[in-house]
């Protein structure tokens, strides 16, 4: 469990009133893990709560910790947690549904009315040093604990510094519990191979205590505790994942999952021509996901040239600045650039002209996915949608998308490294929020 009592958190007390405060380090319940938060990405919704105190019906009535795009390291596990161990690097899916309602049972838990979602009032978010979360909604992409391993230095093999125990007699994780040194070995980056993993500290953020520079993690065989019914298998077993999944990528799985869900709701097929309206973080990730899913031409529209330039750099086939243009002209420009009407339009602005453009431009029988959330009521050419059988589908967050998002990144199918970024320490959360408002980078990260 956590050794320190420091749990600095970014607590929103009301409009324009974000304070850095100490809060108690939470104790994980039986099915929860305690997470030492590493990186939190700032989302437009976090900033919106700060500037407006509410989003729709969700009103900040009492102090609330903000932040929900989270990655970190497991620092403790509850008594019933089987799949996670101290030291696992994880990404956290922010929502905890009830697991029992009709929607949850149908596998559409994002529609659960009892969803408890980080930083959606009154549920606290993750911009803190430590948080707890249900282990079923944590995803690891690097774990060398929980397998039977011996850690040795290749230079001085006799100086073995740790050895996992060989089983789970009590069904609980006891790996390395007898060897406190191993705690210092947690956050390594797995660099290669299946049986011999070269590991190294990440960014020097968690300095190696062991003096030897190169360390081989031997992984002679894999041990798994019995799986409970309905439990998802551990994702990303040791050694399968490359070193390209960083903590920042882990945080980005959150908005990436939105894009995965949007492409699924669009029923995107190979070769589909896709129009993405909006080149913010969500629009860009939708463009990249559509490409990764096999889309043909993907065209992105926005009002901002620099955002469009980045979208182009990141893989958009064509970008169109729609500022001061009429829908009829935008439609013609899109069709000219695409060579036809788009099969799918993914609306990522929430702006009325964009919804209208999507309806007017999408091919008859095509699909529009509404990702953007703008005004609650807008005027749209509904007859166009009805008579040309252009389906309009909403999406709400994501459901069962984190594993896919993780695999897309881990496999290199989606490369997030081109997204422009800014970084702030937890103490400078306010500055980070102001930077997010400037919107000069795709993502602002806070290191906790
Ligand atoms: P963002 O504000 O960073 O990006 C929106 C982009 O749309 C900007 O680049 C802006 O220039 C562009 N835009 C605005 N009006 C436009 C217009 N008339 N024509 C063309 N472009 C226009 O936001 P984001 O973080 O990328 O999120 C996009 C939207 O997705 C937001 O509305 C957000 O609330 C929504 N969202 C929805 C879900 C969901 O579950 N449905 C999840 C996450 C985000
Ligand atoms: Zn439910």
Reported as a single tens digit per residue, the pLDDT across 192-229 is: 232 233 333 333 333 333 333 333 333 322 323 333 33
Higher pLDDT, 431 or 209: 431
Superfamily the domain 256-394 falls into: NAD(P)-binding Rossmann-like Domain (3.40.50.720)
pLDDT of residue 164: 32
Residue in 329, 372, 378, 380 to alter for ligand 1 test, most ligand atoms within 8 A of Cβ:
372
pLDDT of residue 1: 53
Distance (angstroms) between ligand 2 centre and the Cα of 260 equals 21
pLDDT of residue 241: 39
Q: Which of 193, 198, 334, 206 is nearest to 277 (CA)?
A: 334
Q: Is the pLDDT of residue 143 over 70?
A: no
Reported as a single tens digit per residue, the pLDDT across 354-403 is: 999 999 999 999 999 999 999 999 999 999 999 999 999 999 999 999 99
Pairing of strands 298-302, 318-321: parallel
Helices 44-52 & 429-438 angle (0-180, nearest 10): 110
Distance (angstroms) between ligand 1 centre and the Cα of 339 equals 26
Number of the ligand 1 atom closest to the C-alpha atom of 283:
26
Question: Of the ranges 34-43, 161-170, 371-380, which one carries the lowest mean pLDDT score?
Answer: 161-170
At residue 182 the predicted structure's pLDDT band, cuts being 50, 70 and 90, is very low
**CA atoms of 418 and 441, how far apart (whole Å):** 11
* Domain map (residue ranges) of the chain: 8-141+415-447, 148-221, 256-394
- Residue of the nearest CA to atom 23 in ligand 1? 280
At residue 142 the predicted structure's pLDDT band, cuts being 50, 70 and 90, is low
Q: What percent of the chain has pLDDT over 90?
A: 75
Number of the ligand 1 atom closest to the C-alpha atom of 370:
41
At residue 245 the predicted structure's pLDDT band, cuts being 50, 70 and 90, is confident
- Residue of the nearest CA to atom 2 in ligand 1? 280
Residue by residue, DSSP assigns 85-150 as -TT-EEEE--EE--SSSHHHHTT-GGG-TT-EETTSTTS--S-BSEEEEEGGGEEEEE--SSSEEE
At residue 124 the predicted structure's pLDDT band, cuts being 50, 70 and 90, is very high
Q: Is the pLDDT of residue 188 over 60?
A: no
Say whether 256-394 and 8-141+415-447 share the same fold.
no
Higher pLDDT, 224 or 297: 297
Q: Is the pLDDT of residue 131 over 70?
A: yes
Distance (angstroms) between ligand 2 centre and the Cα of 321 equals 41
Higher pLDDT, 203 or 75: 75
Polymer length of the chain: 448
At residue 2 the predicted structure's pLDDT band, cuts being 50, 70 and 90, is low
Which one-letter DSSP state was computed for residue 33? E
Tokens of 397: 């967050």
pLDDT of residue 442: 96
Nearest ligand by distance to the CA of 279: 1
Residue with tokens 């806070």: 446
Contact 109, 115 (CB under 8 A): yes
At residue 290 the predicted structure's pLDDT band, cuts being 50, 70 and 90, is very high
Residue in 373, 393, 399 to alter for ligand 1 test, most ligand atoms within 8 A of Cβ:
373
Ligand 1 pocket list (CB less than 6 A): 44, 258, 277-283, 301-304, 307, 322, 348-351, 353-354, 371-374, 395-397, 439
Reported as a single tens digit per residue, the pLDDT across 247-277 is: 999 999 999 999 999 999 999 999 999 999 9
Question: HSE-up of 64 (CA within 13 Å, CB side)?
Answer: 25
Distance (angstroms) between ligand 1 centre and the Cα of 356 equals 15
Residue in 253, 255, 283 to alter for ligand 1 test, most ligand atoms within 8 A of Cβ:
283
pLDDT of residue 4: 79
Give the phi and the psi of residue 368 in degrees, each rounded to 5: -115, 130
- Residue of the nearest CA to atom 3 in ligand 1? 280
Distance (angstroms) between ligand 2 centre and the Cα of 106 equals 9
Domain 8-141+415-447 has CATH 3.40.630.30: no
Higher pLDDT, 91 or 226: 91
Higher pLDDT, 39 or 155: 39
Question: HSE-up of 205 (CA within 13 Å, CB side)?
Answer: 17
CA distances (Å), origin 444, targets 31, 95, 126, 305, 421? 31, 21, 15, 20, 6
pLDDT of residue 23: 98
Nearest ligand by distance to the CA of 95: 2
Number of the ligand 1 atom closest to the C-alpha atom of 45:
34
Q: Which residues contact 142 (CB under 8 A, 6 or more apart)?
A: 88, 89, 188, 189, 190, 236, 238, 241, 245
pLDDT of residue 336: 98
Q: Is the pLDDT of residue 171 over 70?
A: no
Reported as a single tens digit per residue, the pLDDT across 414-428 is: 999 999 999 999 999
Distance (angstroms) between ligand 1 centre and the Cα of 127 equals 23
Question: Of the ranges 5-14, 130-139, 169-178, 227-236, which one carries the lowest mean pLDDT score?
Answer: 169-178
**CA atoms of 135 and 62, how far apart (whole Å):** 27
Number of the ligand 1 atom closest to the C-alpha atom of 394:
41
Reported as a single tens digit per residue, the pLDDT across 310-358 is: 999 999 999 999 999 999 999 999 999 999 999 999 999 999 999 999 9
**CA atoms of 209 and 183, how far apart (whole Å):** 10
């Amino acid at each position: 469990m956590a050794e320190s009592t420091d749990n600095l958190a970014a607590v929103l007390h009301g409009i324009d009133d974000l304070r850095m405060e100490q809060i108690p380090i939470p104790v994980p319940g039986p099915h929860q893990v305690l997470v030492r938060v590493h990186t939190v990405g700032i989302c437009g919704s976090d900033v919106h709560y700060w500037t407006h105190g509410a989003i729709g019906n969700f009103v900040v009535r009492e102090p609330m910790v903000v932040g929900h795009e989270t990655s970190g390291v497991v620092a403790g596990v509850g008594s019933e947690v089987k799949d996670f161990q101290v030291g696992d690097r994880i990404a956290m899916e922010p929502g905890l549904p009830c697991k029992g309602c009709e929607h949850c049972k149908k596998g559409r838990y994002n529609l659960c009315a009892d969803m408890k979602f980080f930083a959606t009032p009154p549920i606290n978010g993750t911009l803190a040093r430590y948080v707890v979360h249900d282990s079923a909604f944590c995803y690891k992409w690097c774990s060398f604990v929980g397998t039977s391993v011996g850690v040795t230095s290749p230079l001085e093999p006799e100086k073995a510094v740790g050895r996992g125990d060989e089983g789970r007699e009590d069904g609980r994780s006891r790996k390395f519990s007898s060897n406190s040194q191993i705690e210092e070995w947690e956050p390594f980056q797995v660099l290669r191979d299946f049986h011999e993993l070269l590991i190294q500290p990440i960014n020097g953020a968690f300095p190696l205590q062991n003096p030897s520079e190169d360390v081989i993690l031997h992984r002679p065989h894999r041990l798994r505790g019995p799986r409970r019914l309905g439990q998802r298998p551990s994702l990303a077993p040791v050694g399968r994942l490359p070193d390209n999944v960083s903590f920042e990528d882990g945080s980005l799985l959150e908005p990436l999952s939105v894009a995965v869900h949007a492409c699924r709701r669009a029923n995107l097929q190979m070769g589909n021509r896709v129009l993405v309206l909006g080149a913010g973080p969500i629009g860009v990730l939708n463009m990249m996901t559509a490409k990764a899913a096999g889309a043909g031409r993907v065209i992105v529209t926005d009002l901002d040239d620099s955002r469009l330039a980045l979208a182009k750099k990141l893989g958009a086939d064509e970008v169109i600045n729609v500022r001061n243009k009429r829908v009829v002209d935008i439609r013609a420009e899109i069709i000219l650039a695409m060579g036809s009407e788009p099969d799918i339009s993914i609306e990522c602005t929430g702006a009325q002209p964009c919804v209208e453009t999507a309806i007017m431009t999408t091919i008859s029988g095509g699909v529009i996915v509404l990702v953007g959330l703008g005004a609650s009521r807008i005027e749209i050419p509904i007859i166009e949608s009805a008579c040309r059988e252009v389906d309009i589908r909403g999406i709400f967050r994501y459901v069962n998308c984190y594993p896919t998002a993780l695999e897309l990144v881990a496999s290199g199918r989606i490369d997030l490294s081109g997204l422009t970024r800014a970084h702030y320490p937890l103490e400078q959360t306010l500055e980070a929020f102001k930077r997010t408002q400037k919107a000069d980078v795709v993502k602002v990260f806070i290191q906790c």
